[in-house]
Structure 1
Amino acid sequence: MTTWDERFRAGEYPTDPDPSPVLERYVETFPDGRALDIATGTGRNAVFLAREGYRVDAIDQSRVGLEIARGNAESHGVAGRTNWIQADVPSFSFPEATYDVITISFYRAIDRLADIKNALADGGVLFVEHHLRTSDPVDVGPPGGRYRFGANELLHACLDLTVLYFDATTEQLEDGRTTATARIIARNTTGREQSYPEPER
């Protein structure tokens, strides 16, 4: 049993968490089709995308996390639109030009980001959110800076795409803990003149 299996089994993470609020707000502007959720955990974004009508592949190294995610998909009536893949992100073979949406929440996949972007179909959209290195006191996320994004690291890594949204903020959660997070939405298109859809509020 891996460390993540133990964490999920011990209930250290919510078993049916809400999707990212930014993803919820922007999903209506995304293209329809196939989606990939990387490091899906218990399926917070994967199940949401399936409920929005996507056919979703979701990968994670944790068998326990995927079992919980599969149960969430069944309880939400979207088991037929989800495909759960037990795999390590560092060695996973991402198919080229396949996905209309790719999401990554709180996993630092910067070393595979080139391959992940290559997995986007033309016009496909990438959503990433992850912890930031910061001099502010924070309670959430990995200790130290090794597994966090540096200042503007995520933004710079996506400048070959069309950036539709970016933020880097320190926030206080409902339970009183503080977190520093970077979020980006970027589209696999190029050109000096493009459309920039406004999300629902």
Structure 2
Amino acid sequence: MPQNAQEWDHRYRQPGYWAGTEPAEFLRDVLPLLPHGTTLDLACGEGRNAVFLAARGWCVLAVDRSRPALEKAEVLAREAGVPALWGAPGRLAARSAHPLTLLETDLESSALPARQFDVVLCFNYLQRSLLSALPRLLRPHGLLVYETYTLAQLQFAKGPRNPEFLLRPDELRVAFPTLEILFYREIVAGKGIASLLARKP
């Protein structure tokens, strides 16, 4: 697995889509529960989840630090018939009138706006310093959909290897004390992942 921004850019410049073009299974599972409105896809990568939601009527802001990844997301959106535009650098704000906005920014150095989003997605990304800020992004009754790797992933040959970017047991479940947990699981079946759906009161 890539370990820094340059390695990720190199990976995303390769032919094809590293994570595929289909949305995450967990996103499909919770789709009926998601409120329509503005959605933030954090560390969106090549855009598979963002395009999936935008094609179904959500207004999505897809954010990643990798320009090559976002360029692939733009192509994927075009193929899906989803209009995409590029956001102003550093402006992490919802665009309620547009299906998909692509924004190149470093989440670790960006100011995160409060109460802007009805849904926040985060898949296969862990930056612990950002966890406490995620509930503030949500409007009242908004949903957080979070899924990423756990330390159990280390028993498998593929996937991330750096423990710094792997969740400890139960870590994701207790990370958001101000949110109501609607669903939580940790599984070890071909990969080690934790999945969470939580609502802001």
Q: SS of the counterpart of 2:164?
A: coil
- d(CA) in 1 for partners of 2:6 and 2:173? 32
Give 5+ residue unaligned stretches, structure 2. Answer: 85-98
Q: CA deviation at 1:137?
A: 1.7
Q: 1:153 corresponds to which residue?
A: 171
Q: 1:134 corresponds to which residue?
A: 152
Q: 2:125 corresponds to which residue?
A: 107
Q: Give the counterpart letter for 2:46 in structure 1.
A: T
Q: 2:188 corresponds to which residue?
A: 170
Q: CA deviation at 1:15?
A: 6.5
Q: 2:199 corresponds to which residue?
A: 187
Superposed CA RMSD in Å reads 1.8
Q: CA deviation at 1:16?
A: 4.4
Give 5+ residue unaligned stretches, structure 1. Answer: 173-178, 190-201
Cα deviation code 1:91-150 (max 9, x no counterpart): 121111010001011000321122221010100000111110128721333214121011
Cα deviation code 1:60-90 (max 9, x no counterpart): 0111000000111111111251100001111
Q: Give the counterpart letter for 2:164 in structure 1.
A: R
TM-score (norm: length of structure 2) = 0.85
Q: Where does 1:11-50 land on structure 2 (aligned, <5 Å)? A: 11=15, 13-14=17-18, 16-50=20-54
Equivalent residue in structure 1 for 2:111, among 73, 93, 98: 93
Q: % of aligned pairs identical?
A: 30
Equivalent residue in structure 2 for 1:63, among 64, 67, 75: 67
Q: 2:10 corresponds to which residue?
A: 6
Q: Give the counterpart letter for 1:31 in structure 2.
A: P
- d(CA) in 2 for partners of 1:74 and 1:136? 37
Q: SS of the counterpart of 2:126?
A: coil
- d(CA) in 1 for partners of 2:16 and 2:9? 10
TM-score (norm: length of structure 1) = 0.85
Cα deviation code 1:8-48 (max 9, x no counterpart): 11248537421111111111111110000000000011111
**Residues 1:83 and 2:105 are matched in the alignment:** no
Q: Give the counterpart letter for 1:79 in structure 2.
A: P
Q: Give the counterpart letter for 1:168 in structure 2.
A: E
